[in-house]
Amino acid sequence: MFTKTMSFVLMASVFCVSLTAPLLAQSQQSDQQKQTEKVKSKIKKLGLGERVKVKVKLYNESSYQGYVSQANEDDFVVVDKTGSSNTIKYSDVKSVGGKNLSTGTKIAIGVGIGAGVTLLVLYLTFLSITRNN
């Protein structure tokens, strides 16, 4: 009786493991796909060109600093200070950091500066009017 019970428990556990292993593999693959899409969108958001500085860290612990000169469907190119180009696959990237102001941020800064200058001119005009009277 004990042998039959143990063999049933063993068969049930093997069956359960065989069902959950593909699910775990799918979950891990979808996490990697999500990370790849996140990196793609970050690179797209930062943009291309020498004015956009990026720092890219890979899963193999290497890192690259420079600017993105080209972005393709599966990879992008980072050019460092020495001018050497490094082609990096999106799937190899652990994290991306960058410095670039979006268009909305640039507009907000410009509007803020314009409003500040306008207020300063109005204040100085008000002071000169009150001194003359």
Give residue limits of the domains in the chain.
2-100, 101-133
Mean pLDDT of 67-81: 88
110-133 per-position pLDDT tens digit = 899 999 999 999 988 888 888 876
Phi, psi values for residue 76, rounded to 5°:
-145, 165
Report the Cα–Cα distance between both ends of the chain, in Å, rounded. Answer: 112
Residue/partner pairs of 7-10 with CB below 8 Å, 24 or more apart: none
Q: What is the pTM of this model?
A: 0.54
- How many residues are present in the chain? 133
Of the candidate CATH numbers 2.40.50.140, 2.30.30.100, 3.40.50.2000, 2.60.40.2470, the domain formed by 2-100 belongs to 2.30.30.100
2-34 per-position pLDDT tens digit = 566 545 455 555 555 555 545 444 555 677 888
Confidence of residue 46 (pLDDT cuts 50, 70, 90): confident
